[in-house]
Structure 1
Amino acid sequence: MTQPALSQPWLAHYEAGVPHTFRPSGLTLPQLLERTAQKYPDRVALSFVGATTSYRDLWQQVQRFASGLQKMGVQPGDRVSIMLPNTPQFVVAFYGTLLAGAVAVNTSPMYTPSELEHQLQDSGSETLVIFDSFYPRYAEIQSRVNVRRVLVTGVQDALSFPKNLLYPVKAKREGTWVNVPFGERVLSMRKVIASQTPTPQPVTLNADDVALLQYTGGTTGVPKGAMLTHGNLVSNCEQARCWMTDLREGQETTLASIPFFHVYGMTVAMNLSVLIGATIVLIPNPRDLPMTLKAVQQTRATLFPAVPTLYNAINNHPDTPKYDLTSIRACISGSAPLLIETARKFREITNGANLVEGYGLTEASPCTHTNPIYGEQREGSIGIPFPGVHAIVVGDDGQMVAPGEVGELWIAGPMIMKGYWQKPDETAKTLVQAHGLTWLMTGDMATMDPDGYFRIVDRKKDLIIAGGFNIYPREVEEALISHPAVLEAAAVGLPDAYRGESVHAVVALKPGATATEGDIIAHCREILSAYKVPRSVEFRAELPKTAAMKILRRQLAQEARDAQKAKSA
C-alpha cells in the first residue's frame, strides 16, 4: 500500500529563530566539552556545595581520568558502569570514560544488589565507578560478576577545604561512614586522577560510535540497554539549543537536581549545559528540597529542567516562600505528564518562569516534543516536534491516521538509538523502516491535531511512571510472586497527586496461605528499589484472565482506579 507523503504542520508554530531544518554538528561528546573548555576556560563549570570547578580544570580532570582508565587496561568499546549521584565525579567519570574510547553505562544509585548484578552482567562491564556509601551493595554480589576494577569516590572528594576533612568525621559520628577495602582491584578515584597526566592516548571516535548504554524497559517491558551514540546525544542537545532561542552562551546557570543517571537529566541538565558553557549547580539528592531552594537563591539559577513531582513538591513546600526563585527563566518538564495546576502555580511562585511540558523516550536520547517556550502552549499537549524530528501517528494497519484519530506515535530523527544492546530481536520489534527513515515505534497511543500538536492518550505498554522514574510491572510482579504465599500477581499504576502514579499490587494467595499488606510490601522492599515498591496491596481470590490465561492487567488497573475514585468521592 502506498504511504502518503510526510507533512510537518507544526513548522507554522515554531517561534521566531527556531530553524525549520536541522543538521547535526557531528561532534562527539568529548569534543563538545573540549570546545567549551577552550571557549570559556575560566567559566565555572560545576558548583557543588560551595566548591567550584572551572571548565579548564574539568577538562583536565577528564583527561587525567581517561589516562587512568587506559593504564588500567580499559580498551575502546569496553563498558564502564557509573553508579554515582549528581556530583562533580559523575561528570568527570562520564566524559573521561568516553574520552578513553569506552562506553558509559548509567547505573542507578538506587539499585538493589540483585538489580546491580543484572546490569553489570548484561552490559559486560569490567569497570565500576561507585560512591563509597553504595559499596556494600556491590560487595554482596562481587563474586558473581566479572568486574575487574572498582574506582571508589565519595562526597568528601568533591568538597573544598576544610569541609573535605570534616565530612568523614561527621559521617563516622552519624554512623554512615563505609570502610572501603582499598587494594589492587579497589582504587580511589581521587588518587587515580591525581596520579595521572592530562595526556590520554588518542582514540578515534565517530558520531556513530556508541557512547552510552541506558537501561530501559523500552516498549516491551524487559529491561535492556538502549545503545545511544555520540551523535544521538549531541544531536539532542543541539536540538534543544535550537528550541530555546534566548539561551545566553557562557552566561546561564542550570540547576541540576534531576539525576544524570536518568537520560533526561543527562541530556538537558548536563550535556546541554556543557554545549552552551553554562554553570551546572549539582544537587545530589533531589528530595532535599531545602537544599534545592537554597541553591536557586544562592546561585541565581536560570534554567531548571525537572520532573512534575519536583515542581509540585516545591509548589507545596512550607519553606518555598522564604526563597527568591525569580531568577528561573525556563523549565522543560519531562518524564511524566505535567498537571495544569502544577505548571500554573510554579509560574506564580517564580514570577513567570516558562514551565512547559515535553515528551521523550530513552530510545530517543530522550527529547522529541515540547511546547514552545514563549509561543502557543496547548494545555494537555506534549507540544510539537523538535527541529529535525519527524513524527507520525500510525494505525494498526501500519498506515498514518487522519488528524485527531488515535494511533501509535512513531518518531524518526538523528537522536534515535542505534538499537538494544545484544538484543537484535527486541531492536527489530522497535525500529522500523518507512518513508526512507528509521522510525522508533514508541508504544504510546497519541493523536495529532491539524496544527501538529500531539497528545498522548494512552500507553500501549503498561509502564508506570512514579516521580519521573519508569517502573516496569513485570519487575514488580516478579518480586511479588517470589513471596512464598503469593500465587499470582499484577502491578498497576494508580493516579497519585504527588508522584504522578504509585504502584498498586493485586495478588491472589496460594490455597491455605496467609499474608498481610504489610508482609507483601516488606518483602518487596528487600528486592526492589524504594520507588518500585507497591504503596498498596489488594487481595483477590483469583485474578481475571484472557482465554489464553493472560492476566488482564488493564482491567485490574481500571477497577483499582474506579475503587480509588469511589473511595475519595
Structure 2
Amino acid sequence: MPWLGRLGPAQRAPVEPPPSVLHAFRAAVRRAPGRPALAYFDGRLSYAETDALSDSVAGHLAARGVRPGDRVAVMHQNTPHFVLAVLAAWKAGAVVVPLNPMYKTAELAHALRDSGAAALVCDGPTWAAYAAAATAGTAVRTVLLADPRDLQTRDDPRVFGPPADGPAGAAPAPGPCEPAADPRQPADFLQVARHGHSAPAGVPAPEAGTTALISYTSGTSGTPKGAMNPHGALTYNAVRQVTGHPIPKGATYFALAPLFHITGMVCELAACFVNAGTLALAHRFEPGLVLDAFLEHRPAYTVGPATAFMALAAHPAAGREHFASFAVVSCGGAPLPPALVTRLRETLGVELLNGYGLTESTAACASVPAHLRAPVDPATGTLSVGVPGARTVVRILDAHGAELPFGETGEIAVRGPQLATGYWGLPEATAEAFPDGELRTGDVGFMDEDGWLYVVDRKKDMINASGFKVWPREVEDVLHTHPAVREAAVVGVPDPYRGESVKAYVSLRPGSTVTPAELTAHCAARMAAYKYPRHVEILPVLPKTTSGKILRRELRERGSKHS
C-alpha cells in the first residue's frame, strides 16, 4: 500500500473510535457542559442545553410511539433543529433518515415510503406546502414542525426573506404530549424541546455495528437508494478527521456542507462532537452571509463542494481576512478543478485540501494529507483527490473485476471500516455494489505508484464521440482555466454523424463576458479534436443538488431536446 508513505504519523496511528456519535456527544457534555455546542447567527446553545433539549425531543418521540429501530426522517437546512432532532432520534434508539430540504412531493414521498419512517421533523412552511401531502399512505404517525427563525434573533433577510407575519407552521398544534385525534397532527418542535421531558429509559446505547443513518443517494443518475451507514462508520471517519488535521481541541467547525449530506454529517457534525467543538450554522448557503459568518465565528475548519468555493471566490467582498482563522479547508462532494485551487491560493490565501468519498463510504475514503499538496496528473490535468487512509484499501479494477496496475484507468473499488452495509430493502443492488464487502463505486480513476488517487469521472458520464472516449472532467478542467468561467459542466448530446457530441454548459464570473465561440476555441487550442466541445451554452447558473453536485442528468436532457 504505497499511500501509507504519504501519511503523517497521526494519520497512520491506530484509532479507537467511540461506538457512536451519541457516545462522543455525551463525552463532550461531561467534559465541557458550558461550552457552546451550536452557534446559530447570534444564538448559542451549550453542550448541557443541547443535551437537555434533545432529551426532551427524544422523550416526546418515545411517547408518540417511536421505538428502537424505527426510522425518524429529518428534513431541515443547517439549523439547530436538525442537530437536536438527530440526537433525539438516536437517544430514542431510532435510525435517522436525513432528507434533502429541496425535495419536492414525489421525492419526499418516495423516501418516506421506502424507509418506512415513523416520524418526520421539518419546518412549518414545507409541511403546509407539500410535506403533509407527501406523508399520505406512509408510516409517518408523528410530526414535529420547527421555525428556522427560532433560537436566534438576527432574522437575516438574505436567508429568511422578508419578516414573517406570524409563526411558521400549519394550524395550531396540540400540546407536546397530549393525545390528538389525528396522530399526525403536528407538534411544535421548540415547545417539545423546552417541555423538559427525560430521554426514554431503557433504550440501549447505540452499538458500532447498528445502523445510524439511512442516507439517500443524491439521485443525480437515477432513483435515490438508501445507504445504511453504521454508527461505527460515522465515528471512524469522524475520529480520522480529528486526528488527521491540525485542529485545536474545542475548535469551531463551520457547517458549509449541508448536514443532511453525508459530508456534513460526518466531517462537520460528527467530527465537531468528537472534538468537543462548536458547530457554527447559517441555515443555507448564501456567499455574502457565509463570509460574514467566517469573520464572526472564526472557524478552524470547514468543508464544502467546489461550487461553494467558486461562489465565495467570486463574491466582491471576499478577502484574505475571511479565511485567516482556518487551520484546514477541505473540498469534497463534487470535482475540484485545479484552476480553482490555484486561484484561491493566490487571491485568498486558502489551501483547499481535496477529498473523495461517497454516501456509501460514509464520506471520505481518500483525502489530501494536511502537510501535502495534491499533485496534478501531467497527462490529463486531473487534480488528485488524495490518498486512502491507514485502514482503507483502494483498488482499480477492469471491466471483469480484475485489479489493474498503477497508472491504468478503471473502476475505483474501496474496502474499509467506513463502508455502509448496503442499501435499505434492496438486496440485489447491495450484492451488485458491495461484492464480498468491497464497494464498487461506479467512478473511473487511476492510482499512481506513490498512492495518489485520481478520479476521472463517473462510468455513466463517459461520452462516445465517433468511437473515441471523452471524459467530461477533462474538458471541464480546461474550461475552468478560462478567466471568465465560473462553473462548467460537459455532457454528451445526440449527434447524427458522431453518435454523440460534446456539449459544454458554463456560467460566468461576475462582470465577465465571453462568447460560446471563444470558449470553443479556448478548448480546441488545448485538447485533441475529438474532445473539445462543439457546442457551448452559457447559463446564469448550472443546476445543482443541495450538496453542490452539478446535475448532469438535467443538462443532458436539456441538450437532447435542443440537439
TM-score where L is the length of structure 1: 0.77
Aligned residue in 2 for 1:129 = 121
The answer to whether structure 1 residue 420 and structure 2 residue 441 are counterparts is no
> What does the per-residue CA deviation read over 1:477-512, in whole Å, with 9 as the maximum and x for residues that have no partner?
xxxxxxxxxxxxx9999554679xxxxxxxxxxxxx
Distance 1:18 1:39 in 2: 25
Pick from 153, 173, 181 the counterpart of residue 182 of structure 1: 173
Aligned residue in 2 for 1:354 = 351
Aligned residue in 2 for 1:203 = 203
The answer to whether structure 1 residue 268 and structure 2 residue 267 are counterparts is yes
Distance 2:111 2:51 in 1: 29
Distance 2:501 2:208 in 1: 40
Aligned residue in 1 for 2:20 = 28
In structure 2, relative to structure 1, the CA distance for the partners of 1:248 and 1:383 (3 Å cut) is same
In structure 2, relative to structure 1, the CA distance for the partners of 1:118 and 1:458 (3 Å cut) is same
In structure 2, relative to structure 1, the CA distance for the partners of 1:305 and 1:539 (3 Å cut) is closer
SS in 1 for 2:10: coil
Pick from 134, 143, 147 the counterpart of residue 141 of structure 1: 134
State the 1:220 CA deviation: 8.0
The RMSD of aligned alpha carbons is 3.2
Distance 1:220 1:534 in 2: 9
Distance 2:136 2:411 in 1: 44
Show the 5 A alignment for 1:310-329.
310-321=308-319, 324-329=322-327
In structure 2, relative to structure 1, the CA distance for the partners of 1:105 and 1:168 (3 Å cut) is closer
Structure 2 segments unaligned to the other structure (5+ residues):
175-179, 377-382, 463-471, 477-488, 492-499, 510-542
Pick from 360, 375, 379 the counterpart of residue 378 of structure 1: 375
Matching residue's letter, 1:320? A
Distance 1:539 1:170 in 2: 39
Distance 1:399 1:311 in 2: 37
Show the 5 A alignment for 1:381-392.
381-392=384-395
Distance 1:368 1:491 in 2: 33
Distance 1:132 1:540 in 2: 37
SS in 2 for 1:274: helix
> What does the per-residue CA deviation read over 1:303-340, in whole Å, with 9 as the maximum and x for residues that have no partner?
12111011111111112149633112211100111111
The answer to whether structure 1 residue 363 and structure 2 residue 330 are counterparts is no
Structure 1 segments unaligned to the other structure (5+ residues):
1-7, 474-489, 500-523, 542-559, 561-569
Is the Cα–Cα contact under 8 Å of residues 354 and 384 in structure 2 kept in the other structure?
yes
In structure 2, relative to structure 1, the CA distance for the partners of 1:112 and 1:199 (3 Å cut) is closer
Aligned residue in 2 for 1:13 = 6
In structure 2, relative to structure 1, the CA distance for the partners of 1:93 and 1:492 (3 Å cut) is farther
Distance 1:220 1:208 in 2: 29
Aligned residue in 1 for 2:48 = 56
Distance 2:433 2:274 in 1: 30
State the 1:442 CA deviation: 0.7
Distance 2:140 2:18 in 1: 33
Aligned residue in 2 for 1:83 = 75
Distance 2:560 2:249 in 1: 56
Matching residue's letter, 2:56? R
Is the Cα–Cα contact under 8 Å of residues 221 and 461 in structure 1 kept in the other structure?
no
Distance 2:445 2:370 in 1: 22
Matching residue's letter, 2:385? I
SS in 2 for 1:156: coil
In structure 2, relative to structure 1, the CA distance for the partners of 1:324 and 1:382 (3 Å cut) is closer
Is the Cα–Cα contact under 8 Å of residues 133 and 177 in structure 1 kept in the other structure?
yes
SS in 2 for 1:411: strand
Is the Cα–Cα contact under 8 Å of residues 302 and 328 in structure 1 kept in the other structure?
yes
Which stretch of structure 1 is more off in the superposition, 48-57 or 175-184?
175-184
Aligned residue in 1 for 2:521 = none
Is the Cα–Cα contact under 8 Å of residues 128 and 149 in structure 1 kept in the other structure?
yes
Aligned residue in 2 for 1:157 = 150
Is the Cα–Cα contact under 8 Å of residues 48 and 159 in structure 1 kept in the other structure?
yes
* Identical columns (%): 28
* Equivalences, count: 474
Matching residue's letter, 2:78? N
State the 1:34 CA deviation: 0.1
Show the 5 A alignment for 1:57-72.
57-72=49-64
Pick from 71, 84, 102 the counterpart of residue 94 of structure 2: 102
State the 1:539 CA deviation: 5.5
SS in 1 for 2:435: strand
Is the Cα–Cα contact under 8 Å of residues 420 and 426 in structure 1 kept in the other structure?
yes
Distance 1:498 1:332 in 2: 24
In structure 2, relative to structure 1, the CA distance for the partners of 1:24 and 1:322 (3 Å cut) is closer
SS in 2 for 1:68: helix
Matching residue's letter, 1:429? E
Distance 1:228 1:431 in 2: 13
Aligned residue in 2 for 1:518 = none
Distance 2:398 2:6 in 1: 25
Distance 2:160 2:351 in 1: 41
In structure 2, relative to structure 1, the CA distance for the partners of 1:395 and 1:383 (3 Å cut) is same
Distance 1:449 1:493 in 2: 30
State the 1:257 CA deviation: 2.1
Distance 1:396 1:457 in 2: 16
State the 1:30 CA deviation: 1.1
Is the Cα–Cα contact under 8 Å of residues 218 and 362 in structure 1 kept in the other structure?
no
